[in-house]
Amino acid sequence: MQRFRDKIVIVTGGGGGIGSAIARRLSSEGGTVVVTDSNGESANVVADDILASGGRAMALQADIAMASECRRLVGDVLARHNRIDILVNNAGLMRRGNIMAISEDDWEITMAVNITAMFHLCRAVIPGMITQGGGAIVNTASQWGLHPAPNHIAYNVSKAAVASFTQNLGRDYAPHKIRVNGVCPGEVHTPMLEAGVKRAGRTMADLDGLVPFGRVGKPEEIAALVAFLASDEAPYMCGSLVEITGAQAVA
């Protein structure tokens, strides 16, 4: 499939487990992917892998916790390509703890990366999408934004905000043919998840056993859903939140 031929795509958090899978999937279907991450080395590795496999990609380091960096990122992409067809707001971080356990800094950086960055990136991207007659925005929310898990208040609240942001943006810009949708993953096998499981003294097998499907999700499975939502095969989906959990309830 070449659903993204001639499309310019930005993937934030593109150096991470889910983000890199999204970047590779959209590139494999013909997209020119801008891999952006606060870790420039990770972004470069993903972009180089895509180029080595015959795809089109470039890496841009950006700390999207800063509004100025969000605007610079979009400006740099527009200067190079003159358009942005797809924005995947995937970057995110997790600070664990209840309200008494997390610090003010934990709260503020979680909100800055997980939701406020989306505000600034979408404000920078949408005018161009209106001018070109449409576009697609896919936001990574979380199952926990819809059904909060215990002792993750900052993460849960930020992802609930992403869900509401997605629905609001979809409603406001559907008349401009800008489709805004969100994916809400459950547990996904990434390096971040492995580290958390190890820290809790558990194993991946323990986590797999909690999922009715028999295992946690794979980054490539999230990427496949993002690709569908970003593609012309989902022309009437706008303002939707799609859970992808293997039927797992929140622990």
What single letter denotes the amino acid at residue 59? A
Q: Is 88 left (phi over 0), alpha (psi -120 to 50) or beta?
A: beta
Rounded to whole angstroms, the Cα distance separating 205 from 164 reads 33
Distance CA 158, CA 139 (A): 12
**Which of 4, 155, 165, 173 does the annotation list as catalytic?**
155
| Token pair recorded at residue 240 | 């939707």
CB distance 125 to 167 below 8 Å: no
Compute the distance between CA of residue 107 and CA of residue 111 in angstroms, rounded to an integer: 6
134: left (phi over 0), alpha (psi -120 to 50) or beta: left
d(CA 90, CA 138): 8
Tell me phi and psi for residue 246, to 5 degrees: 65, 25
| 155 tagged catalytic | yes
Query: What residues act catalytically?
Result: 155
